[in-house]
Amino acid sequence: MNSIQLHDKHFVPFISKEKIDQYVEFLAEQIANDMEANEVPIFIGILNGSFIFAADFVRKYPNSCHITFVKMASYEGTNTSGKIKHLVGINEDLEGKTVVILEDIIDTGNTLAEIYEVFRDKNVKTLKIATLFFKPDIFRKELPIDYIGKSIEDKFIVGYGLDYDGLGRNLPDIYKLKE
């Protein structure tokens, strides 16, 4: 893996695709083990960032499941903009269902707070949150995160679905912003 440039910024290799694969597999196994027998969960990927994670995750999930996506973005450039856009795309009736949210990364937790808000009146049976990456040093909410693939330092990362101003989502490995 070599250093790369996206727009004006340089990024250095951080997490290889082989490692990512292990984290995704671990999450899929853990979540499957925690399900009640014959439970068919609905996985909901948060677009755009989680599209690759969700695609890999469901192929490692060993039992029957549904997969759908919703869209919400709160990030511009390398700084969180603070303003949360609304969740769009929930058309299914989720009442009484076991829902597992698939997030690419949880940073400030603003998006997570919005997800909890939106699901408050959906009367789901269970709501669980799974994130591939988590930045514990930035997270400031008192909200539960049920499954974490990998906790990382407070660095801006790209690749595997994550972007810097629209670029980098297609990189198979994860890169971090060069100091």
Q: Is the peptide bond preceding residue 48 cis, with omega within 30 degrees of 0?
A: yes
Of 15 and 162, CB closest to ligand IMP? 162
85-104: contacts with ligand IMP (CB under 6 A): 103-104
Of 71 and 122, CB closest to Mg ion? 71
C-beta of residue 65 within 8 angstroms of C-beta of residue 41: yes
Catalytic status, residue 104: no
Question: Catalytic one among 34, 56, 93, 107?
Answer: 107
**Residue 3 burial (CB count, 10 A):** 10
Q: Is 149 in the site for ligand IMP (CB under 6 A)?
A: no
Residue 64 CA to residue 69 CA, distance in Å, equals 17
- H/E stretch holding 101: strand 98-106
- Among 80, 90, 124, 126, interactor with ligand IMP by CB under 6 A: 80
Report the interface residues with Mg ion, using CB under 5 A.
Answer: 49, 104
Q: Take residue 17 and report the two structure tokens written for it.
A: 């695709």
> Would you call 90 helix, strand, or coil by DSSP?
coil
Interface segment toward ligand IMP; rule CB under 6 A; list 3-11, 89-97, 105-113, 118-126: 105-113
Positions marked active-site: 107
Residues that bind ligand IMP (CB under 6 A): 46, 49, 74-75, 80, 103-112, 156-158, 162
